[in-house]
Amino acid sequence: MSSWFHSSSSSSFRHHHMARAVQDPYFDDEGGITSHDPYFDDEGGITSYDPYFDDKGDVKPAVTQHWSTLRTQESLAGIRAKYCVPEGFGLHPAGATQAACSPPPAPARGVRGGAAGAVPICVYAQAFAAGMRLPMHPFVSDALAHFGIAPSQLAPNGWRVLVGFAVLCHFRGVGAPSLPVFRHFFTMAPLPKGKGWYSFRARESVPALFTGLPSSIKAWKEEFLFVSPPPGAPWRCPVRWGTPSKEATSDPVLTQKEETVARRLTQGQGVVDLKTYLSESNLVAAKISSALACQGTGASQGSSVAAGKKRKVAGSGGNGSDPMLRSEVQAKDKALAKAQVEIGRLKQELGNAKARELAEARQALQYERKLGTQVLKSEGGSNGATAGKRRRGGQ
């Protein structure tokens, strides 16, 4: 099996597999944030411990130990429908022995998504649940290209942070999301047990933007598929696994305009709770999602999409409904009721105005009629007097 990872021999692989447990510098086994930092000692000195390489310098191939459970067209069709994946993108199930770090060869010409350069990428189902949408937003593609990682290397919480930042920029009116400003607030950090997976953690030197990241996402490493782009539209991000460079993860130097944007993102708005912020309607508003309407697909909490699995979304209540969707429906119901009351009031005012106008018109008509009658009587009396004088003069 070709892979970004390699081992020198089968004995080396067994050595990797039996290596001591690896601790993550910033995250636990499920992507939850920890306070332990293996790269520095208590006095701030650099340690020699490396969680991703063994004593011989070989990569621990943990990613190759996870196989996908999404192997049927039915499960892929469910993902396409749930996350509104456009028909131009081809969805391909992973093979029984295919790892996330080894995408399949490019499909032949004439096949959907088989144009030159249309190499499929691996995508985790939980990336969709965390806010990834197709086609990818330019900010998302640019971020992946900057860090030099493929989409499947970014853990679900990393997707939440990346997409949440784009949505935040939209609703706080700072324009298109800026990668230097994003790097000002967040830094990339590796996940545990095997080199390759990454997420974002907030920098301690700046105000926090987000809260509400799930502390644990079960079995996300066993739910992945491969996606090929539409003809003539190759991916703008890396398609094979890589390693971020030191330059990519260094502290950015912001321009004056970027510093102004960073201040606007933190002034007077408070920390955003991603549990309710990444609703489909917000993704559409920020142009992350092109779907006008999806069936209750929020990115706040992920749920398994494997066929036959029934899991409740964390923190969504006993009936498994989306709390953000429920609150939006309630808000819209209130707005509709208020609008109906206002329409009733306006109708009543319009009816009263028309009634007053009609009454005034009737009064004016009655006045004109009365005035006309008086004029006629006056003219009739004057004519009678004149005729009488004429008769008397003739006599």
**What's the one-letter identity of residue 229?**
P
| Closest residue by Cα to residue 199 from 160, 235, 164 | 160
Per-residue pLDDT of the chain (395 residues; tens, 9 = 90+): 333 333 333 333 333 333 333 334 334 444 444 444 433 344 433 333 333 344 444 444 567 778 899 989 999 999 999 999 999 999 999 887 888 987 555 555 554 444 445 789 999 999 999 999 999 999 999 999 999 999 999 999 999 999 999 999 999 999 999 999 999 999 999 987 657 899 999 999 999 999 999 998 989 999 999 999 999 999 999 999 999 999 999 999 999 999 999 999 998 778 999 999 999 999 999 999 987 645 445 565 554 444 344 443 333 344 444 555 566 666 667 777 777 777 777 777 777 777 777 777 777 777 777 777 665 666 666 555 555 555 555 55
State both tokens at 30: 């499920």
CB 289 within 8 A of CB 273: no
| Closest residue by Cα to residue 92 from 106, 84, 82 | 106
State both tokens at 82: 């749930």
SS3 59: strand
State both tokens at 64: 């190759």
* Whole-number Cα distances in Å, 35 to 23, 38, 182, 190, 206: 11, 10, 22, 14, 18
| Cis peptide upstream of residue 231 (ω within 30 degrees of 0) | no
CB 34 within 8 A of CB 26: yes
CA angle 274, 276, 281 (to 5 degrees): 110
Q: What is the pTM of this model?
A: 0.62
